[in-house]
Amino acid sequence: MKIINTLLFISLSFIYSNSYAFELFSITLKSNQNAMFYLDGVNVGIGKTVIVDIDPESAYTIIAKPEGYNGKEEYIEPPYYPNTSYDFYFMIGDKEQ
């Protein structure tokens, strides 16, 4: 009986921990220029490549803004897939006037 109670406790613990917690999901933000990256208005990193953890159930607005260039925006929403990157390319025509 003790073994059955232990197995039941382990099973219920597993169900409880998986039903109330979510895992973060990583996405990669890339730019051909050093850029400041924003996720819903919050600065999440600077560089050509930034890895960000997100809630896989939520939608976001990403902005990439290199110094001297107009920023570019992309709206993303679930479902998200492993190894996903969001790439931003800035050309001469994207420079601020």
The answer to whether residues 34 and 88 touch, using CB atoms and an 8 Å cutoff, is no
pLDDT digits (tens), the chain, 97 positions: 444 433 334 443 444 444 445 688 899 999 999 999 999 999 999 999 999 999 999 999 999 999 999 999 999 999 999 889 999 999 999 999 8
What domains are there in the chain, each with its CATH number? 23-92 (2.60.40.10)
- The runs of H, that is alpha helices, within 1-97 are 2-20
**Which residue type occupies 84?**
T
In 10 A of CB 56, how many CB atoms? 14
* CA–CA dist 36, 21 (Å, integer): 30
CB–CB of 47/32 below 8 Å?
A: no
